Structure 1
Amino acid sequence: MKVEVETEINRKVEWLKKEQSPDGAWRFYVESGPLSDAYMIILLRSLQIDDEERIRLLAERIARLQEKNGAWKLFHDEAEGHLSATIEAYYALLYAGYKRKDDELMQRAKQFILSKGGLSEASLYTKVLLALTGQYPWPSPMPVPVEALLLPQQFPFHFFDFVGYARVHFAPILVCADRKLVIKTARTPDLSDLYADSSEGNRISDQAELRANEFYRSLLSMIVQGIKHLPFSPWQIHSAALHRAEQFILQRTEPDGTLYSYFTSTFLMIFAWIALGHAKSHPVITRAIRGLENLTCRTNAGIHVQNFTSTVWDTALLSHALQEAGVSPSSPTIQKAGLYLLSRQHQKYGDWRIRNPRVPPGGWGFSDINTINPDIDDTTAALRAIRRFAQNDREHNHAYLASWNRGMNWLLSMQNDNGGWPAFEKNTDKSILDWVPIKGLEEVSTDLSTADLTGRTLEFLGNDAGFTFSHRAVDKGIRWLLRNQEEDGSWDGRWGVSYIYGTWAAITGLTATGVPSRLPAIERAVKWLLSIQNADGGWGESCRSDIEQKYVPLGASTPSQSAWALDALLAVYKRPTAAIDRGMRFLMETSQRDDWTTRYPTGAGLPGGFYFHYHSYRHIWPLLALSRYKKTSINVPQR
Structure 2
Amino acid sequence: MTNTIQGINQLIDKLKKEQSSDGSWKYPFDTGISTDAYMIILLRTLEIHDEKLIRRLASRILSKQEVNGAWKLFYDERDGNAAAALEAYYALLYSGYVQKEDPRMTAAKRFILENGGMENVNVFTKIMLSSTGQYKWPASFPIPIEIMHLPLSFPFNFYQFSVYGRVNLAPILILAENKFSLKTKNSPDLSDLRLTRAEKHDWEIQAEWRSLLSLIKEGIEDLLGLPEQLHAMAMDRAKKYMLERIEADGTFYSYFSSTFLMIFALLSLDYSKNDPIIKNAVNGLKSLKTDIDGLPHMQYADASVWNTSLINSTLQMAGVSPEDPVVQKANNYLLKRQHDQFGDWVIHNPNSLPGGWGFSDVNTVNPDVDDTTASLRSIARSVRGSPIYQDAWDRGISWLLSMQNDDGGWPSFERNTQNPWLDFLPIEKGEYIFGDTTSADLTGRTLEFLGNYTDLPKDHPAFKNAITWLLKNQEHNGSWYGRWGVCYIYGAWAAVTGLIAAGLSAEHPSIQKAADWLKRIQNRDGGWGESCLSDSQKTYVPLNASTITDTSWAVDALISAENKPTEAIQKGIHYLLNSLDKEDWTTAYPKGQAMAGSFYIHYHSYRYIFPLMALSHYHQKFG
TM interval, shorter chain, is over 0.9
Q: What displacement does 1:34 show?
A: 1.1
Contact kept? 1:216, 1:436, Cα under 8 Å: no
Indicate conservation of the 8 Å contact 1:61/1:302, yes or no.
Answer: yes
1:432 pairs with 2:421 = yes
* TM-score, length of structure 1 as denominator length: 0.96
| 1:105-161 C-alpha deviation (Å, 9 max, x unpaired) | 211211111111111111111000100111111111111122221222223321111
SS in 2 for 1:278: coil
Secondary structure of the residue aligned to 1:518 is: coil
Note if contact 2:345-2:413 (Cα within 8 Å) is conserved in structure 1: yes
Return closer, same or farther for 1:172/1:186 CA change in 2, 3 Å cut-off: same
Q: How much has 1:468 moved relative to structure 2? A: 5.1
Give the TM-score of the pair, scaled to structure 2.
0.98
Partner of 2:256: 263
The counterpart of 2:299, out of the listed 306, 331, 340, is 306
Question: Does structure 1 residue 445 correspond to structure 2 residue 437?
Answer: no
Q: Secondary structure at the match of 1:597?
A: helix
Please identify runs of 4+ aligned residues in structure 1 that moved more than 4 A: none
Hey, what's the Cα distance between the residues in 2 that align with 1:216 and 1:564? 45
Structure-1 separation of matches of 2:351 and 2:496: 32
Partner of residue 576, structure 2: 587
Deviations 1:496-542 (A, max 9, x none): 00000000000000111110011111111000000111111111000
**Matched AA of 2:394:** N
Q: What is the CA–CA distance in structure 2 between the aligned matches of 1:265 and 1:290, rounded to whole Å?
A: 14
Aligned to 1:637: none
Aligned to 2:519: 530
What aligned pairs does 1:203-602 form with structure 2 within 5 A after superposition? 203-207=200-204, 210-212=205-207, 214-231=208-225, 233-300=226-293, 302-390=295-383, 392-394=384-386, 398-467=387-456, 469-602=458-591
Contact 1:216-1:435 at 8 Å conserved across structures? no
Question: In 1, distance between residues paired with 2:455 and 2:491?
Answer: 22
Separation of aligned partners in 2, 1:229 and 1:270: 33
Report the CA distance between 1:301 and its aligned residue: 6.6
Determine the C-alpha separation between the residues in 2 that align with 1:606 and 1:436.
16
Provide the residue aligned with 1:137 in structure 2.
136
Single out whichever of 215-224 and 436-445 deviates more from structure 2: 215-224
Aligned: 1:151 with 2:150: yes
Maintained 8 Å contact 2:155/2:419: no
2:50 is aligned to 51
Q: 1:215 Cα deviation (Å)?
A: 4.1
Say which is worse superposed, 102-111 or 38-47, in terms of deviation: 102-111
1:151/1:227 contact within 8 Å kept: no
Deviation per CA, 1:173-211, whole angstroms, max 9, x where unpaired?
Answer: 1111111111101110111111122233xx22322xx24
- Tell me which amino acid in the other structure corresponds to 1:228: D
1:509 counterpart letter in structure 2: G
Whether the 8 Å contact between 1:444 and 1:606 is mirrored in structure 2 is: yes
The one-letter amino acid paired with 1:63 is L
Q: CA deviation at 1:216?
A: 4.4
Partner of 1:613: 602
Matching residue's letter, 2:430: L
Contact 2:2 2:570 (8 Å CA) reproduced = no
- Give the count of matched residue pairs: 623
Give yes or no for contact 2:445–2:498 (8 Å, CA) kept in 1: yes
Stretch moving more, 619-628 or 439-448: 439-448
Q: CA contact under 8 A between 1:493 and 1:503: conserved in structure 2?
A: yes
Alpha-carbon distance in structure 1 between the residues aligned to 2:139 and 2:336: 47
The amino acid that maps onto 2:614 is: A
The residue aligned with 2:618 is 629
1: CA distance, partners of 2:155 / 2:450? 36
Contact 1:359 1:410 in 2 (8 A): yes
Does the CA-based 8 Å contact 2:450-2:456 persist in structure 1? Answer: yes
Q: Alpha-carbon deviation of 1:467? A: 3.5
Distance 2:455 2:492 in 1: 22
Q: Is residue 2:78 matched to residue 1:86?
A: no
Query: Which shifted more, 149-158 or 88-97?
Result: 149-158
Q: 1:98 is matched with which residue?
A: 97
For the aligned residue pairs, the C-alpha RMSD in angstroms reads 1.2
* Partner SS, residue 540 of structure 1: strand
Q: CA deviation at 1:219?
A: 3.3
- Cα offsets for 1:235-258 (capped at 9, x unmatched): 222221121111100111111011
Q: Are the equivalent residues in 2 in contact too, given 1:468–1:514 (CA < 8 A)?
A: no
Show the 5 A alignment for 1:59-78.
59-78=58-77
Rounded Cα–Cα distance in structure 2 between residues aligned with 1:525 and 1:45? 51
Distance 1:26 1:227 in 2: 51
* Contact 2:410-2:442 at 8 Å conserved across structures: yes
For 1:473, what is the secondary structure of its paired residue?
A: helix
SS at match of 1:556: strand
The residue identity in structure 2 corresponding to 1:521 is S
Instruction: State whether residues 148 and 227 of structure 1, in contact with CA within 8 Å, keep that contact through their aligned partners in structure 2.
Output: no
Write out per-residue CA displacement over residues 553-593 of structure 1, whole angstroms, 9 at most, x where no aligned residue. Answer: 00111111110001100001143221111111111111011
> Distance in 2 between the 1:571 and 1:337 partners?
27
Larger displacement relative to structure 2 (138-147 or 433-442) = 433-442
Q: CA deviation at 1:434?
A: 2.8
Output the CA distance in 1 between the equivalents of 2:407 and 2:21.
Answer: 43
SS in 1 for 2:602: strand
How far does residue 224 in structure 1 lie from its aligned partner after superposition?
2.8
Paired residue type of 2:218: V
Residue identity (%): 51
Alpha-carbon distance between aligned partners in 1 of 2:560 and 2:217, rounded to the nearest angstrom:
50
Q: Distance in 2 between matches of 1:273 and 1:293?
A: 19
Q: Give a deviation string over 1:277-307, Cα, whole Å, max 9, x none.
A: 1101111101111110010011127210000
1:387-437 CA distance string (max 9 Å, x none): 1111x223xxx0111111111111011011111110001111121233321
Provide the rounded CA distance (Å) in 1 between the counterparts of 2:72 and 2:26. Answer: 26
